Amino acid sequence: MNLTARIIIALIAGAVVGLLLNMFTPGAYSVLDPYVFDPLGQIFLNLISMLVVPIVFFSIVLGAAGLGDPKKLGRIGFKTIVYFLVTTSIAITIGLAIASVVQPGEAGTFDAENAEFSAEEAPPVSETLLNIIPKNPVEAMSQGDMLQIIAFALFIGLALAALGEKTKGIFNLFEQGNDIMMYLVHLVMKFAPYGTFGLIASAIGEQGWNAIQSMGSYMLCVLAALLIHCILTYGGTVLLLARKSPIWFFKNFAPAMTVAFSTSSSNATLPLSMEVAQTKLNIPKSVSSFVQPLGATINMDGTAIMQGVATIFIAQVYSIDLTMGELVTVVLTAVLASVGTAGVPGVGLIMLAMVLGSVGLPVEGIGLIIGIDRILDMTRTAVNISGDAACALYVAETEKKRTIKKQRDGA
Ligand code: ASP
């Protein structure tokens, strides 16, 4: 049986076991979770997280060095960033629209009086942007600061391209380092079904059916918006911009999505999503290793969708009407929040504080949705990484066309 099928079976088995334990034997869950589910999940998470920093570093260095021409790097960078900003704006608009129509905040009685949430100060976006250049690259790596690692790797890659033959030895070393990491990804993925089972059983066992039911309308809005975004925006990108079949895209990218779903972390899923993009979607290494790490760090469409729905939901629960101007502010802030959101579990909810604050909505409102956020985090992370892959495919295909056209014109 192939890996995707095994991971999906593990997902379903984990959900069923978690739900049954939660409903019938919560006592058994409290014993099984710390000794079985949680360790299985943690081992898997640690194994893949272990590979993230070296993979991002090696692959971006090689990507930048492989593109060679700084002009080409600039063109790909520009395309990628414009794509990220446009699709994230579309994502949050879909979230706002669906929540405005369905009105999840009017659906039940929510205890706004007792909602509690105190936000940790989210870093201002200007700081995120300024901090892209690392003062100390070694510290950036030890802290896992993705944007800084990407920036440093880009510099090294550019230098390798400029120095050519002279630094061939180091180039080969990085290439071999990258091969070793990719080999390890393969190895670690053999453990994926067990890790997935543990992660899902642990999450669902804790949340249970009641929590899911009571927030049904809000959850359905987020899920519907995620689905619509996947079909329209990514399907559209694949079909119209990359001229490929969306079904082919989602079918081949599914293993990465299932792992994103179980880990709730774009960063942790990165080694696998790159491998899948390169081997199954045939995206050249040079494009995939630039677009995907960047996307896992700054492109969070699924998170933006949740923030759009949550903003409307909280406004409705507190009976606050948002003006058109405020909605535009929400879109802009959520796009910036998406850039600042790290690809690790739960950060999207913390960044929501910034979005709510931008239009004066009560931040405590987050307390209303925090209970079920774990499950939505899983789904939106799968969407987050699909956006990066769709962008990589679009960039790869348009670059390929450009090269062919150039060759034809030259011939
Ligand atoms: N968990 C998400 C990710 O890693 C970020 C978030 O929305 O919390 O992509």
Per-residue pLDDT tens over the stretch 288-346: 988 999 899 889 999 999 999 999 999 988 888 899 999 999 999 888 888 777 788 88
Q: Is the dihedral angle over the CA atoms 200, 88, 212, 352 positive or is it negative?
A: positive
Nearest atom, ligand 1, residue 385 CA = 9
Ligand 1 pocket test: pick from 146, 384, 385 the residue with the most ligand atoms within 8 Å of its Cβ: 384
Residue 370 or residue 122, greater confidence: 370
Q: How high is the pLDDT of residue 286? A: 84
Q: Comparing 214 with 3, which gets the higher pLDDT? A: 3
- Burial status of residue 318 (CB atoms within 10 A of its CB: 0-12, 13-18, 19 or more): middle
What is the torsional sign of CA 272, 273, 276, 279?
negative
CA 383 to ligand 1 center in whole angstroms: 10
Evaluate whether 95 touches 406 at the Cβ level (below 8 Å).
no
Pocket test for ligand 1, best of 146, 265, 377 (most atoms within 8 A of CB): 377
pLDDT score for 110: 66
Alpha carbon of 342 to ligand 1 centroid (Å): 7
Distance 347 CA to ligand 1 centre (A): 6
Measured in angstroms, how far is the CA atom of residue 339 from the centroid of ligand 1?
Answer: 11
Span of 37-51, 183-197, 310-324, 363-377 with lowest mean pLDDT: 363-377
Residue 186 pLDDT class (50, 70, 90 cuts): confident
Distance of alpha carbon 385 from alpha carbon 292, whole angstroms: 8
| pLDDT at 305 (0 to 100) | 96
pLDDT of 218 above 80: yes
Question: Where does ligand 1 bind, in terms of residues with CB under 6 Å?
Answer: 264-266, 300, 303, 341, 343-348, 377, 380-381, 384
Average pLDDT over residues 55-59: 86
Residues 327 and 180: beta-carbon distance below 8 Å: no
Taking the centre of ligand 1 as the mean of its atom positions, its distance from the CA of residue 39, in whole angstroms, is 21
- In order of their start, the domains of the chain are 3-410 (1.10.3860.10)
- Residue 378 Cα to ligand 1 midpoint, Å, equals 8
Confidence at residue 51, expressed as pLDDT on a 0 to 100 scale: 86
Q: Indicate the SS3 state at residue 344.
A: coil
Q: Is the pLDDT of residue 205 over 90?
A: no
User: pLDDT confidence of 80, banded at 50, 70, 90?
Assistant: very high
Q: How far apart are CA 406 and CA 411, in angstroms?
A: 8
Which atom of ligand 1 is least distant from the CA of 343?
Answer: 4
**Of 34-43, 62-71, 128-137, 267-276, where does mean pLDDT reach its minimum?**
62-71
Q: How many Å apart are CA 45 and CA 51, to the nearest integer?
A: 10
What confidence tens digit (pLDDT) does each residue in 334-391 have? 888 887 777 888 888 888 888 898 888 988 888 888 877 888 999 999 999 999 999 9
Q: Which is more confident, 411 or 173? A: 173
Give the atom of ligand 1 at the shortest distance from the alpha carbon of 345. Answer: 1
pLDDT of residue 128: 66
Average pLDDT over residues 396-407: 90
Residue 71 CA to ligand 1 centre (angstroms): 32
Pocket perturbation via mutation, ligand 1, pick of 88, 265, 379 by most ligand atoms within 8 A of CB: 265
pLDDT band at 408 (very low <50, low <70, confident <90, very high): confident
The ligand 1 atom at the shortest distance from the C-alpha of residue 268 is 4
| Positive or negative: CA dihedral 54, 58, 63, 65 | positive
pLDDT at 341: 78
Residue nearest to atom 1 of ligand 1 (CA): 345
Residue 89 burial by CB count (10 A; 0-12/13-18/19+): exposed, middle or buried? middle
